[in-house]
Amino acid sequence: ITLPCFANDIYVNQVGDNTDITIVQDGENNQIEGLSGSGDAQLSGNNKTVAFSQTGNTNEIRVWTHGGNQQMSLTQDGNLNISIMDNHGNNNNMSVAIDGNSNSTHTEIGNGGDINNQISVIMDGGDSNAVYTEVQNGSTNSIDVQLHGQSNNINTVTVNGSSNNIKAWQGKHEDGSVDSDETGDNDVYWVVNGSNNNLASYQTDDNNNGGQHIANYVTGDSNDVKHTQRGSGDHKGY
């Protein structure tokens, strides 16, 4: 009996400026490795446009990049996916869009005072996801993390640097709306070390499905911290 096999691997090692890369994987058990699922998935150079897309189950995208003026996007549609995008440089735009359950995603910028980067992470319509977003060392960066229509999710934001503008949403509102029927039992954790950061968390309407939880740990001066929890349920904010 011959059975179909969908085990595709792509290992990338690209060095140079003005690079345009699009990789689409449609199937099961796909990988674009590195960091360290092992092997490659490294991109170096300025002025890159890079798009990764996977549809299916048990996919992994892991990529380390270095350079300035990069436009990078990562899309996954399916269950049990893992995505990691680790970016170093200035004036970069990173977007992550994931739809599914039990996913783990880690999006990171900066390890050397990186500036003027933008990160957008949207996780839509799934449960039991772990979302980790990090400014390892940088300033004047902007991060927007959104989780929609989900429950039992953990959203962790870590910031080391100053003058960053960061928002974490579960359900949305105030007032970017979304939340057609948000569920509950979602957590947001902030660990912030630096000054003059602007931080905002919004958790909304859980329909008595377990409550919402926010914990802020902030070290530094002149930070502006806001957290908003709406709807019925056992809400906790620290």
Condensed to tens digits (0 to 9), the pLDDT of residues 125-144 reads 666 778 888 888 888 888 88
Q: Does residue 5 register a pLDDT over 60?
A: no
Task: Please write the tens of the pLDDT for every residue from 161-183.
Answer: 888 888 887 766 667 666 666 56
Question: What pLDDT sits at residue 101?
Answer: 73
In the predicted structure, residue 53 carries a pLDDT above the cut 70: yes
Chain-wide mean pLDDT for the chain?
Answer: 80
Q: Please report the pLDDT score of residue 205 as a whole number.
A: 65
Higher pLDDT, 174 or 112: 112
Q: Does position 109 have pLDDT exceeding 80, yes or no?
A: yes
Q: What percent of the chain has pLDDT over 70?
A: 84
User: Residue 46 — very low, low, confident or very high, per pLDDT cuts 50/70/90?
Assistant: very high
Which pLDDT score is estimated for 179?
62
Lowest mean pLDDT among 70-74, 112-116, 225-229, 232-236: 232-236
Spell out the SS3 assignment of the chain.
CCCCCCCCECCCEEECCCCEEEEEEECCCCEECCCCCCCCCEEECCCCEEEEEEECCCCEEEEEEECCCCEEEEEEECCCCEEEEEEECCCCEEEEEEECCCCEEEEEECCCCEECCEEEEEEECCCCCEEEEEECCEECCEEEEEEECCCCCEEEEEEECCCCEEEEEECECCCCCECCCCCCCEEEEEEEECCCCEEEEEECCCCCCCCEEEEEEEECCCCEEEEEECCCCCCEEC
Quick one: pLDDT at residue 125? 65
The yes-or-no verdict on residue 186 having pLDDT over 60 is: yes
Q: What is the pLDDT of residue 1?
A: 47
Of 40-49, 133-142, 229-238, the range with the lowest mean pLDDT is 229-238
According to the model, what pLDDT value does residue 47 have? 93
Res 49: pLDDT: 92
